[in-house]
Amino acid sequence: MRILRLLSILLPVLLFHSPDARADGESPFVFQQTTLDFGNIRETDGPASGTFWFRNRSDRPVQIDFVATSCGCTTADYPTRPVQPGEDCEIVVKFNPANMSGKVYRDVTVVTKTSEDRLVITADVEPAPVGPEQTYPGIVGGGIRSRDLSYRFGYAAQGRSQSQSITLYNSNDKTVLLKAESSNPHLTVKCPYSLKPGAADGMTVTYDIPVGASNYGICDDTITLYVDGVKTEHPIRLNAIMVDDLDRSDKDAPSMRTDPSYMTLKDVRKGKTVKKQFVIYNDGRKDLIIRHVKTSGGISSTLKAGDTVKPGKSITVDVRLTAPKTATTTQESIFFITNDPLRPQKEIVIRANTK
């Protein structure tokens, strides 16, 4: 009996001082574990849930600003009140395995005013048996289906031809003739001339972005299909990010780092304009050049295309956000592109709670 009592006292202490916990001084929180493994689950089983237990080891109350997840398939419930010194709390994470298969990893980031704790959930998902309708749920029209109606091409480098394939499936009981048109002169599309019933084949999309100062940023393009000469109901949308053609193996390349990556503004008066700052660092050996800047909503910034950060230096960017007059919360962002070959794009997210 005494041994059991001793174990009941020591077990929480051992858990909160396990090797998985962060070193002192890095975060006010210490977690029992930083990885949560759901093990083998089936796609058809629905959401799985688990708990990250943590303790506030600091000598002050700590407010969690928000918990960010790397995918919409993952949600997190966390304390909305300040966590008191020495208090044990939980973050309940739910993971939906729908439309997934194999080994899956998702990040869960706990953000406070002074820290970010990165947690990881993982699972081995057994996919549900599927037919053509499940494999190709996107209905283009004219009996033609695809895996989706919206695709992300990724980075499209200036001055270089890059191609990807989009699979089309013919659900008709006859062979059809296909034709494709692109909304972008720098995007060419080559689709199968004909497609037999029940057959699937790849449509090749190719970006040839010219070198030029105006050819940076995000391009949203559409591909229109014609089946036996008839225009289909739904276009296929393609998203690409236009960047420099850079050498990822260049050890002397510029290296971008920002602080912070998230901003949370509390109790902002509706309609009021507030000012914040973030810093862009260059940890590389060549000049870091801002190629493109885009802001959303009620945000303005001093960052502009052509700004340069010397090696080992930094620049401070002023940001102004005007809170909406009606909504209680708002989320805006600053998106910019640089000549950093490893991370050419960055988005600074700003969330504001208004009163």
Task: Tell me the one-letter amino acid at 255.
Answer: S
Please state the φ and ψ torsions of residue 132, each to the nearest 5 degrees.
-60, -35
Whole-number pLDDT of residue 52: 96
**How far apart are alpha carbons 69 and 50 in whole angstroms?**
14
Evaluate the CA torsion angle 122, 128, 129, 135 in order and state its sign: negative
Whole-number pLDDT of residue 341: 93
Whole-number pLDDT of residue 210: 97
Question: Does the domain made of 256-354 have the CATH classification 2.60.40.10?
Answer: yes
Contact call for residues 288 and 256 (beta carbons, < 8 A): yes
Positions in the chain short of pLDDT 70: 1-25
Q: Report the 10 Å Cβ neighbour count for 332.
A: 20
Q: Report the 10 Å Cβ neighbour count for 113.
A: 12
Whole-number pLDDT of residue 14: 41
Whole-number pLDDT of residue 248: 85
The correct CATH number of 132-243 out of 2.60.40.10, 3.90.1300.10, 1.10.10.10, 1.25.10.10 is 2.60.40.10
205's CB contacts (< 8 A; 6+ apart) are 153, 163, 164, 165, 166, 182, 187, 188, 189, 223, 238
Whole-number pLDDT of residue 22: 37
**How far apart are alpha carbons 344 and 254 in whole angstroms?**
10
Whole-prediction pTM: 0.65
pLDDT digits (tens, 9 = 90+) for 27-52: 999 999 999 999 999 998 889 999 99
Please state the φ and ψ torsions of residue 196, each to the nearest 5 degrees.
-75, 160
Whole-number pLDDT of residue 224: 97
pLDDT digits (tens, 9 = 90+) for 72-131: 889 999 998 899 999 999 999 999 998 888 999 999 999 888 888 999 999 999 988 778
Domain 16-126 class, CATH top level? mainly beta
Whole-number pLDDT of residue 26: 73
Whole-number pLDDT of residue 3: 41
Give the domain ranges of the chain: 16-126, 132-243, 256-354
